[in-house]
């Protein structure tokens, strides 16, 4: 079976089909999601929080993105793999964006890249698309701007809503194949979805977007502490792993592991 392409994604959305996207940061987890039939995986810079122990996505480097993106590609055979351009890897100029996106496409082997920003990033998006690199946009809450934006719902009020619509159109006009809408009111996300012909991917954007994305560690219940209200926990991996680790520790301390079947003579 061949890999899913951006054209398959466009076709699915034209047929009115909703589709799921999950983040992935390593080959093993990605292989599970590939087998589960998740069509699109995002090597998100949320790896900064979930995988690398940073407090925000801001410190994530191109080296980190390139390494984990390559791992996710190696762990999958079917999903379209999208990699984030991290903070500082595209803001300087379209040429900088092209250089870094090329590395993720050519060396890591991903099928598309994602970058944050609407009007402010449209030149970058345009150059990548002209060069043959599929681009996913990302507007609304853009976590790389946490230092100016904070983490709050975007697009509330008439002026902010108009700006979000302009950002959405800028991303589409620049040639992006899809756009993430993060933490925006459901009514506005629905309006953007009606307005655009490219698929919208919601996270904290209500039920009316073409697709939904969640951070895998949040949706699987692995994340410690508080998770955002828009996420849903479909499993409790943190509890499962805690129990397994404690049971292993207890058996080692108690001398009941290993047993005969684990032992060579």
- Residues found near ligand KIV in the complex (CB under 6 A): 23, 42, 44-46, 84, 138, 180, 203, 213, 215
Of 40 and 105, CB closest to ligand KIV: 40
107 is in an annotated binding site: no
Please say which residue, 65 or 165, places its beta carbon nearer to ligand KIV: 65
Q: Which of 130, 182, 191, 261 is catalytic?
A: 182
Residues 6+ apart with CB under 8 A from 25: 43, 44, 47, 50, 51, 68, 71, 72, 216
Strand stretches in 105-243, DSSP E: 112-114, 135-140, 178-182, 200-203, 211-214
Is 84 within any annotated ligand binding site? Answer: yes
Question: Are the C-beta atoms of residues 172 and 199 closer than 8 Å to each other?
Answer: no
The C-alpha atoms of residue 118 and residue 163 are separated, in whole angstroms, by: 9
Q: Which helix (H) or strand (E) holds 20?
A: strand 19-23
Distance CA 198, CA 9 (A): 10
Q: Is residue 119 annotated as a catalytic residue, yes or no?
A: no
Beta bridge partners of 86: none
114 annotated as a binding-site residue: yes
List the single partner that 213 binds among Na ion, ligand KIV, none, CB under 5 to 8 Å by kind.
Answer: ligand KIV
User: Binds 215, which of Na ion, ligand KIV, none (CB < 5 to 8 A, cut-off by type)?
Assistant: ligand KIV
Q: Which of 23/76 has CB closer to ligand KIV?
A: 23
**Residues of the binding site for Mg(2+):** 45, 84, 116
Could you list the residues known to form a binding site for 3-methyl-2-oxobutanoate, using ranges: 45-46, 84, 114
């Amino acid at each position: 079976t061949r890999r899913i392409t951006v054209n398959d994604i466009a076709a699915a959305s034209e047929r009115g089909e909703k589709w799921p996207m999950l983040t992935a940061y390593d080959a093993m987890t990605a292989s599970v999601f590939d087998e589960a039939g998740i069509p699109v995986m995002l090597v998100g810079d949320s790896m900064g929080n979930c995988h690398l122990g940073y407090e925000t996505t801001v410190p994530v480097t191109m080296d980190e993105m390139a390494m984990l993106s390559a791992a996710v590609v190696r762990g999958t055979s079917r999903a379209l793999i999208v990699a984030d351009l991290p903070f500082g890897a595209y803001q300087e100029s379209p040429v900088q964006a092209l250089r870094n996106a090329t590395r993720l496409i050519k060396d890591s082997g991903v099928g598309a890249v994602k970058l944050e920003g609407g009007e402010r990033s449209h030149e970058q998006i345009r150059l990548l698309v002209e060069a043959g690199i599929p681009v996913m946009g990302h507007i609304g809450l853009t976590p790389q701007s946490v230092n100016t934006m904070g983490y709050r719902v975007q697009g509330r009020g008439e002026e902010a809503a108009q700006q979000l619509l302009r950002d959405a159109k800028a991303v589409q006009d620049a040639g992006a194949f899809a756009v993430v809408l993060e933490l925006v009111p459901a009514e506005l996300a629905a309006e953007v979805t009606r307005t655009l012909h490219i698929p919208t991917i919601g996270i904290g954007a209500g039920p009316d977007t073409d697709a939904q994305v969640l951070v895998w560690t949040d949706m699987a219940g692995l994340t410690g502490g508080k998770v955002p209200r828009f996420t849903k926990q479909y499993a409790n991996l943190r509890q499962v792993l805690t129990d397994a680790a404690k049971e292993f520790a207890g058996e080692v301390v108690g001398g009941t592991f290993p047993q005969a079947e684990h032992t060579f003579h």
